[in-house]
Amino acid sequence: MKSCLSVCAVFGFYLLSLTPALAANANVAAGQAKAAVCAGCHGADGNGGADPLWPKLAGQQSEYIAKQLADFKSGARKDPIMSGMAAPLAPADMKNVGVYFASLQAKPGAAKDAELVKQGEKIYRGGNAKMAVSACMSCHGPSGHGIPPRFPKVSGQNAAYTQKQLLAFKSGTRNNDSEVMTRIAFRMSEQEIKAVSEYMAGLH
Ligand code: HEC
Ligand code: HEC
């Protein structure tokens, strides 16, 4: 009993001393501190703000968030607001901010237009064989939760934001995607983009 106590105590101490080193890789608390300035647009709980063009970040994958911030900073993804917000962040900050937003609970979104949802569901689940548009769920998952580290969560997002991104991929003004989304969106009609965006808003 006595020897177990001392062994456990030593082992416990070893674990305690190890934990901060592991957490230093990507630190939720450090990310939260850096994210104070983000709350005005992305929400105190990460679920977005007053403008539907300000995306929800809660529950988004940490690697995807870090990549987008690096892309905004380098100019690979262009947005006048976000390039300014990302500019002061170091790569470690981007990782920390990513794990912080990933740790927040995503609130479910809601689709409004049942007819659009029906059209959008077909595209999301089956693609569009005629125009060689892949089923969205093959990369973003059947519930839109994405597949880390490359394929982001797209469920529950504001439809207006999703629509804006798909139109930007289609026109090539957003092209930080290794040509995956630009090729897909290029073959989609504006009506299909509107429908699939509405469907994904209610997906959970
Ligand atoms: C003044 C409003 C505003 C502030 C403050 C702001 N953002 Fe943004 N953010 C936006 C807008 C608008 C977009 C969408 C840009 C676009 O349409 O491509 C965006 C997009 C993003 C994205 C991409 C999301 C996705 O799904 O691809 C990330 C990540 C992000 N912001 C992180 C942050 C972080 C981290 C901070 C704080 C350091 C921050 N933002 C502060 C307005 C803001
Ligand atoms: C072959 C895999 C693949 C398929 C199929 C795919 N996507 Fe994507 N999608 C990606 C990748 C990778 C990204 C991230 C690009 C980046 O890093 O900026 C992405 C990003 C997105 C984004 C941006 C998310 C954000 O928060 O800004 C949207 C919206 C999206 N995809 C919708 C769709 C829709 C709708 C379909 C079906 C018509 C689809 N995707 C099919 C791989 C895929």
* Same domain (yes/no): 130, 80: no
Percent of the chain clearing pLDDT 90 (strictly above): 84
Tell me the H-state helices in 24-136: 28-34, 39-42, 62-74, 80-86, 91-103, 114-126
Q: Do 194 and 138 share a domain, yes or no?
A: yes
Instruction: Kindly state whether residue 35 falls inside one of the protein's structural domains.
Output: yes
Ligand 1 pocket, 41 CB below 6 A? yes
83 plus 124 within the same structural domain: no
Give me the number of domains the chain comprises.
Answer: 2
Q: What residues line ligand 2, using a CB cutoff of 6 Å? A: 55, 67, 123, 133-134, 136, 138-140, 150-152, 154, 162, 165-166, 176-177, 180-181, 184, 196
* Cα–Cα dist 58/46, whole Å: 5
- Residues 36-46 have pLDDT tens digits of 999 999 999 99
Residue nearest to atom 27 of ligand 1 (CA): 68
Instruction: Tell whether 135 and 98 lie within a shared domain.
Output: no
| Cα–Cα separations (whole angstroms), residue 176 to 45, 61, 84, 93, 109 | 27, 17, 17, 20, 26
**What is the pTM (predicted TM-score) of this model?**
0.91
Q: Which of 47, 75, 103 is the last residue of a domain?
A: 103
pLDDT of residue 26: 80
User: 10 Å Cβ neighbour count for 35?
Assistant: 21
91 lies in the same domain as 57: yes
Per-residue pLDDT of the chain (204 residues; tens, 9 = 90+): 444 444 444 444 444 444 444 444 689 999 999 999 999 999 999 999 999 999 999 999 999 999 999 999 999 999 999 999 999 999 999 999 999 999 999 999 999 999 999 999 999 999 998 888 899 999 999 999 999 999 999 999 999 999 999 999 999 999 999 999 999 999 999 999 999 999 999 999
Report CA torsion sign: 143, 151, 179, 53: positive
> Over the stretch 21-39, which tens digit does the pLDDT of each residue have?
444 468 999 999 999 999 9
Is residue 22 in a domain?
no
- What is the end-to-end Cα distance of the chain in Å, rounded? 51
Same domain, 99 and 62: yes
Give the CATH number for residue 143. 1.10.760.10
Bridge-partner residues for 151, per DSSP? 147
> Does residue 146 fall inside a structural domain?
yes
Range of the domain at 65: 27-103
Q: Which of 64, 84, 103 is the last residue of a domain?
A: 103
Looking at the structure, tell me whether residues 150 and 196 fall in a common domain.
Answer: yes
